Structure 1
Amino acid sequence: MSEKCLYKKAQDDDDLDTLSTVCFQINPGVQLREVPTNGEEYLLKVIKERQSYSTVTKCNKDYSKFAKNQSCFVKELPHAKAPDKLKPTIEWQNIQVADFSDVRMYISRLLAKKSLWPKNLDTVAIESNNINSWKSFFAEREPTLRCVLGLNQTLLDRGLEMLTEILNKVEKGETIDHKTGQWIYAFLACTRQPLVSDTVSILRNLARKCAELRSHIDPEDENANVAAAPLNIFICIVARYFRQYDLAD
């Protein structure tokens, strides 16, 4: 039985007029069959089918009427820079990331072994899209492990969105109140990884809002550093722990 050799065809550079080269040379006596019976017939069938398609495929439909207000690019909101006197040092940021990492590691162990969870977890009943329901939730409860461990990522994301909405009500020159800050920290500590795109967007919006609030604090005020501290913490966590480095100070 004669052997048939499949090989890459040698070609001179001058002969190449396409971006693709012939990888297999098929015996000219091979016939095209509807149902291939050997390797060469199968390759011939694939080649013939490929020739019926253009090298570059273009969309021949006009979808513009469905996307009049859309752009092919995502427009990033501005990120306010810190006043020099309120900008945290790298050493301070490293301490915050290390402390946050310890909290995350502890919570990760709990999530991995439910037998370690606190007994009698709080039952959370909340209208996820109702900001007043969230405001009542944040006001009436404490951000304890009993409360936050049972929340799934969907609720954690929605809660962070609502907390960012609450920050929109903070007056210029003011800062986050203590309890709101506790809730933000708790939700960040329980956020699951790897991050999905929606969660990344929520975290970035939170960091930008914190940066905006910080930019309105008078650096000459005697309490300026105290007011900026929680804002710096959340910017630092989002930027350096959750790897949104372009938002880092």
Structure 2
Amino acid sequence: MASDSDSSDCGILNQALPIAKLPKNYKPNDAPASAEEYLHHVVWEARQCQAVVTVDLEEHRLNKPIAVVQKQVKAAAPDGFTPSLESQQNLLASFSKLRAHIANLNASGRKPKPPIPLPGIKKREEWCKLCFGNSFQLALLKQSHQDSVQPQLIEGKQPLLSILLNIKQKGIENLLEWHGQWLEVLGFSEAQGRWFYSLLACLEKPLTPETCSQIRHIAMMCARIRASLETADHPHLPQLNVIICIVARYFCQEDLVDH
């Protein structure tokens, strides 16, 4: 940008705009009042830059170890514990049919009324009681060895369509997150297997990154529980396989697929 007489300041750069030399009385602290004064200021700033700049490196910082995050790997299933490809395909077909039915009911606006008043979408403890009754609470009391008088057993509700269709999508996502937490605390149950299947059937695509991470975590835990089963006749095995298959194949988590 400098004139021919200032070409030494610009090295091998070609002149872009014609401009006269800087005035002898040039004051760089004054704000440019014209385009020419602005170009003078650009030339002056360029002259302040060093031709070569070096940095003194601190050797001890270069040798600092870097944390490596290892990707979680699904627990391998024992021989004979995974469903056949045909079984998985049949499962996905029936699951897709159920999701289409749910979508049609939502689109029609003909939602059946829930059999009971539903808690708010942030009422974690109330939803726990609705899904499991107070068996979860009783198990926690037993786990903590509390000697207080335990409440009478109350049965949880089945994941009926009349309940599920009246839960907003944010509530579905919250329930999946909470069920994942409950699974970590007390392990797997048939009631929870039914709720997992039903909630996944109501989960809309595309998934948020948080929800995708959550259902992956659930499938990984189910795979870990499956790997710990002593026999392929265990009553939990079919439900565990269903959850893993749906998350892996329907929600496209290919690294979790059972081959």
1:76 counterpart (52, 66, 71)? 71
Report the TM-score when normalising by structure 2. Answer: 0.61
Whether 1:233 aligns to 2:242 is yes
**Post-superposition shift, 1:189?**
0.6
Aligned pairs for 1:1-249 (under 5 A) are 75-114=70-109, 116-119=110-113, 122-126=116-120, 128=122, 130=124, 132-139=125-132, 140-170=156-186, 176-218=188-230, 221=231, 223-224=233-234, 226-249=235-258
The aligned counterpart of 1:3 is none
Q: Distance in 2 between matches of 1:228 and 1:170?
A: 17
CA separation in 1, counterparts of 2:195 and 2:107? 22
Distance 2:67 2:165 in 1: 38
Higher-Rg member (1/2): 2
Q: Aligned partners of 2:67, 2:107: CA distance in 1, in Å? A: 40
Q: Do the aligned residues in 2 keep the contact of 1:134 with 1:162 (CA within 8 Å)?
A: no
- How far apart, in 1, do the equivalents of 2:68 and 2:166 lie? 37
Ranges in structure 1 where 5+ consecutive residues have no aligned partner: 1-16, 18-25, 36-44, 53-70
Cα displacement (A) at 1:231: 0.3
Aligned-pair CA distance for 1:72: 8.9
- C-alpha distance after superposition, 1:182-206 (max 9, x if no partner): 1111111100111110110111011
Would the aligned equivalents of 1:121 and 1:150 in 2 still touch at CA under 8 Å?
A: no
C-alpha distance in 2, partners of 1:147/1:124?
8
> How much does 1:73 deviate?
7.5
| Distance in 2 between residues matched to 1:222 and 1:232, nearest whole Å | 11
Judge conservation of contact 1:122–1:146 (CA < 8 Å) in 2.
no
2 CA distance for matches of 1:200 and 1:117? 27
Once residues 130 and 117 of structure 2 are traced to their aligned partners in structure 1, the CA distance between those partners, rounded to angstroms, is 12
Alpha-carbon distance in 2 for matches of 1:163, 1:120: 21
SS in 2 for 1:204: helix
Verify the 8 A CA contact 1:207 1:235 in the aligned structure 2: yes
How many matched pairs? 190
**Change beyond 3 A, Cα 1:198–1:73:** farther
- RMSD over aligned Cα atoms: 3.6
Q: Work out whether residues 240 and 248 of structure 1, in 8 Å CA contact, stay in contact via their aligned partners in 2.
A: yes
Per the alignment, do residues 246 and 83 of structure 1 end up closer, same or farther by CA in structure 2, a change over 3 Å counting? same
1: CA distance, partners of 2:177 / 2:102: 21
One-letter identity of the residue aligned with 1:163: H
What amino acid maps onto 1:89 in structure 2?
Answer: S
C-alpha distance in 1, partners of 2:93/2:223? 21
Instruction: Give me the identity figure in percent.
Output: 30
Separation of aligned partners in 1, 2:129 and 2:171: 15
With the length of structure 1 as denominator, give the TM-score of the two structures. Answer: 0.63
Assess if the C-alpha contact under 8 Å between 1:181 and 1:230 holds in 2. yes
Unaligned runs of 5+ in 2: 1-11, 19-33, 47-65, 133-155
